[in-house]
Amino acid sequence: MSQKAIVLKKAEFNPRLKTYLNLYGVFMMLIMIFTIPFIPIWLIIAPIFINKYYERLECELTSRSLRFKKGFIVQTEKTIPLDKIQDLTFKEGPLLKKLGLSILKIETAGNSASGGADLSLIGIIDAHDFRQMVFDQRDKVTDNTSSSSDESESVVNVLKDIRDSLLRIESKIEA
């Protein structure tokens, strides 16, 4: 039987993420020129939705996986097994840097064809430490899988010995 995964670290999100999301929305409206008249409406309504979104952000590092939940209207939950994680990349643009935020992109083995990240986490407090914890736990998990393959090999050898013994017993019974 498999044992339940233990939560090792719950990531906390920087409250400045709300400011970033609000400014990002305004910036996108400025780029699409025809939406400029809607900026005042955005500045009134968006903080309500951004606060709800921020309250529902969750990211947990467990002994086996990285679990992420987000969303207010449309809720998304994603679980990535640690042994599938290939890389964690930091991204900081000018606005992110000004607000003291960064984006942590998680790439997995099956993701190389699409060219994008499997998961992007914006605004984790102490993102560098969190990244290192993920790498350390991933290394522990992958080391355990290699030792479990050694164990499974020894089990196969024992089963082969049992089979050989049974074949010898059958041959003596038939004779």
For residue 2, tell me if it sits in a domain: no
Number of domains in the chain: 1
For residue 135, tell me if it sits in a domain: yes
- Tell me which of 93 and 38 has the higher pLDDT: 38
**Residue range 103-124: mean pLDDT, rounded:** 77
Q: Which tokens is 25 given?
A: 């929305």
Q: What's the whole-model pTM score? A: 0.72
Give backbone dihedrals phi and psi of 89, rounded to 5 degrees, phi first: -115, 140
Q: Which amino acid is at 17?
A: L
Q: What's the CA gap between 17 and 24, in Å, rounded? A: 10
Q: What's the CA gap between 160 and 88, in Å, rounded? A: 42
**Residue range 45-57: mean pLDDT, rounded:** 94
Say if CB 75 and CB 62 are below 8 A apart.
no
Element (DSSP H or E) covering residue 108: strand 103-108
For residue 89, tell me if it sits in a domain: yes
pLDDT bracket for residue 8 (50, 70, 90): confident
pLDDT per position as a tens digit, 16-33: 999 999 999 999 999 999
For residue 129, tell me if it sits in a domain: yes
For residue 116, tell me if it sits in a domain: yes
Measured in whole angstroms, how far is the alpha carbon of residue 34 from the centre of its chain?
37
Q: How far is CA 95 from CA 105, 112, 124, 133, in A?
A: 17, 28, 15, 26
**Average pLDDT across the chain, whole number:** 86
Owning domain of residue 26: 7-174
pLDDT bracket for residue 147 (50, 70, 90): low
Bridge-based pairing state of the strands 58-62 and 65-70? antiparallel
* CATH number, domain containing residue 163: 2.30.29.30
